[in-house]
Structure 1
Amino acid sequence: MSFDELLIELQGMKTNAGNPDHVPLEILFNEAFMSGCSSLASFEEFLRKGNFSISTIEDIGGIPEELLDRHVDRETRFANWKSMLDQANAEYAAQQPR
């Protein structure tokens, strides 16, 4: 499975394509966001560097939050996953037409 196919699976686009509130991970954590908050060029690189083996949506939920928080703290300017996710969502929302 390619990374793009994996992202589609992870984002639930196959089952949530009609959900207007669903924002794909590659859009939230785009290259500009990732390079602005870390030395990493992509969300794929972030996952790979953390040795996170993800092949299904359940895999993301299966990552212990403390491991994800430590990786975020180590590799980005954020202290934890929630702050990184909140900022990505805020930047995404700010770019949307009103």
Structure 2
Amino acid sequence: MRHKPMSMEDLFKDLQGAKNNQEDPNNVALDKLFNGAFMKKYSNFDSFAAFLEKGNFQATTQAEINNLHEELFERYINRETKFNSWKSMLDTANSEYSPVN
């Protein structure tokens, strides 16, 4: 079943609204994990949402990322970031992430 593409405004609302619950340190929201500073450091994008949008990928959760066409997503990461794989990007984001209290 194909989902209707999400507008940037709806994506931001979804990312903000869905993440207002108590944060699980083992399940950090993608927009927090790949925050603006991280994306600017490792890519030419200001946000993870902009990165996904340019690649025509619709995903707001780790589960949705896992359902993307793996080869296309890996090639896109390799081309558009300083990483050669999603695992490398995710591992670096996790190691650099520190929640703001």
TM-score category of the 2 structures, normalised to the smaller one: 0.7 to 0.9
Q: TM-score, normalised by structure 2?
A: 0.73
Q: Deviations over 1:21-55 (max 9, x none)?
A: 22111111000000000111110110001111237
Kindly state the Cα deviation for residue 59 of structure 1 after the two structures are TM-superposed: 3.4
Q: How is 1:59-70 mapped onto 2 (pairs within 5 angstroms)?
A: 59-70=64-75
Kindly state the Cα deviation for residue 72 of structure 1 after the two structures are TM-superposed: 0.5
- Asked if structure 2 preserves the Cα contact closer than 8 Å seen for 1:39 and 1:75, the reply is yes
Rounded Cα–Cα distance in structure 1 between residues aligned with 2:44 and 2:23: 34
Return the match for 1:7 from 15, 18, 25.
Answer: 15
Higher helix share: 1
Letter in 2 for 1:47: L
Match of 1:40 in 2: 45
Q: Does residue 1:52 correspond to 2:60, yes or no?
A: no
Match of 2:29 in 1: 24
Rounded Cα–Cα distance in structure 2 between residues aligned with 1:19 and 1:87: 18
- In structure 1, the gaps of 5 or more residues are none
Superposition RMSD on alpha carbons, in Å? Answer: 2.8
- In structure 2, the gaps of 5 or more residues are 1-5
Q: Which runs of 4+ in 1 moved over 4 A?
A: 55-58
Rounded Cα–Cα distance in structure 2 between residues aligned with 1:48 and 1:61: 16
The number of aligned residues is: 92
Match of 1:87 in 2: 92
Rounded Cα–Cα distance in structure 1 between residues aligned with 2:19 and 2:25: 11
Match of 2:3 in 1: none
Q: Percent identity?
A: 45
